[in-house]
Amino acid sequence: MIGVVRLTVELAGLTTLLLLVLATPIAWWLARSRRWWREPVAAIAALPLVLPPTVLGFYLLIALGPASPLMAVLHPFGVRTLAFTFTGLVIGSMIYSLPFAVQPLRAAFEAIGERPLEAAASLRAAPLDAFVSVALPQARRGFLAAAILVFAHTVGEFGVVLMIGGAIPGRTEVLSIRIYELVEALKYGQAHALAGSLVLFAFLVMLAMLVIDRRVGRLQP
C-alpha cells in the first residue's frame, strides 16, 4: 500500500516539476506572440482537455512502443520501449496534464501586460533578465495554480496510466488503478479507505487553491 502511495506521489511530483519547465516557454509564447498560428497551437495544447484518456493512451502506447519511429531514434541509446515503464508514465502524464499547466500560466503572463516589461527594458534589463526578474515573480499566482492543478490532476488520472502503464505492481501501479483492482476483487473495505483518502486529498487541494489565491491576490492587485 505504501509503495502505491509513494509511486503516485513520485509520479505526480515529477510530472509537475517537468511540466512547469516545459509549459513556461509555451505559455509565454502564447501570451505574447501575434502570429496567426498562435490559436491553433493553443488548441493543440488544450486537446487533452477534451480527448478521451483512452485515445491519448492508445496513441502514446503506439508512440512509446518498440515499433515506433520515436523508439527507433532512441534505440542507439539503449532504449527499446517506454511502454509499461515509469518513464512512459511520466511522459503520458505530462501530455495529459499539459493544459492544466499552460492555461493558468498563459493567463498569468497575459495579465502582466506589456508595461512592466517595457519599464524593465528602460532600466537596462535584457529580455531574459526582465523575464526572470519581472515576469516570473509577477506570474507567481499562475505558477502556484498550475502546480497544484497538475499535481492533483496527475494523482486523479486513470485511463492514460492504465493504457500505457499496465498496472505493474511497484512500477506503474498507482492509487487510482489500485482502487479499480480492489473493487474488481470485491475488497470494498480497502477500496473505501483509499477512495475516501482521495476525496479528502482533493478537498484539501481545492481549499489550498482558493486560500492561496485570495492571499496572493491581496498582495498583488
What residues line the site for another protein (CB under 8 A)?
115-116, 118-127, 129-130, 133-134, 137-138, 140, 219-221
SS3 letters across 51-85: CCHHHHHHHHHHHHCCCCHHHHHHHHHCCCCCCCC
Cβ distance to another protein smaller for residue 40 or 217: 217
Cβ distance to another protein smaller for residue 110 or 181: 110
Half-sphere exposure in the Cβ direction for 160 (13 Å, CA): 26
Q: What is the nearest approach in angstroms of another protein to the Cβ of residue 212?
A: 16
Is residue 72 within 8 Å of 64, Cβ to Cβ? no
Cβ distance to another protein smaller for residue 44 or 111: 111
Q: What is the nearest approach in angstroms of another protein to the Cβ of residue 131?
A: 12
What three-state secondary structure class fits 73?
Answer: helix
Backbone angles phi, psi at 5, to 5 degrees: -60, -45
Q: What is the nearest approach in angstroms of another protein to the Cβ of residue 99?
A: 26
Rounded to whole angstroms, the Cα distance separating 125 from 119 reads 9
Is residue 89 within 8 Å of 11, Cβ to Cβ? yes
Cβ distance to another protein smaller for residue 39 or 129: 129
Cβ distance to another protein smaller for residue 138 or 190: 138
Q: What is the nearest approach in angstroms of another protein to the Cβ of residue 108?
A: 12
Question: Cell digits for 99?
Answer: 493544459
Q: What is the nearest approach in angstroms of another protein to the Cβ of residue 179?
A: 42
Question: Cell digits for 14?
Answer: 515529477
